[in-house]
Amino acid sequence: MWWWRKVRKANIPDSHRDIFERYGEHVIGSILAGGFSPGAEELVDVYRPSEIQKDARDWLTEQRDLHERREQRLEIAEWAILIFVVLGVFIEVVRLVRELFSSQLN
């Protein structure tokens, strides 16, 4: 839908994307923040300022956008379920009241 978060797709090489997806958002984010020295040789380049570091930031942005859009879809589904439940209860109450009044009239 038009109000959902637009995913900013990262234009990065598949080899970089494979590395990022292999280690995940937490590890890549920690490396970019300078939290720890990576033990894996393929992550050393992410630790040093380079083009792969820019790709890692773009990939993290893309992942955050994907998570945000998923949360928005779940919230829409939750609201829809709530509305249908409330509508169902309302219809049942109307039927009950109608039945009670029709039995009292007879």
In a domain, 96, yes or no: no
Q: How many domains does the chain have?
A: 1
- The alpha carbons of the chain give a radius of gyration, in whole angstroms, of 26
Rounded Cα distance between 62 and 38, Å, is 22
The H-or-E segment that residue 84 falls in is: helix 51-105
Rounded Cα distance between 56 and 25, Å, is 9
What are the pLDDT digits (tens) for 82-93? 999 999 999 999
Put simply, whether the predicted model's pTM sits higher than 0.85 gets the answer no
In a domain, 1, yes or no: no
In a domain, 34, yes or no: yes
In a domain, 39, yes or no: yes
In a domain, 50, yes or no: yes
What are the pLDDT digits (tens) for 63-74? 999 999 899 999
What are the pLDDT digits (tens) for 32-57? 887 777 777 778 777 777 888 889 98
Q: Is 11 helix (H, G, I), strand (E, B) or coil?
A: coil
In a domain, 38, yes or no: yes
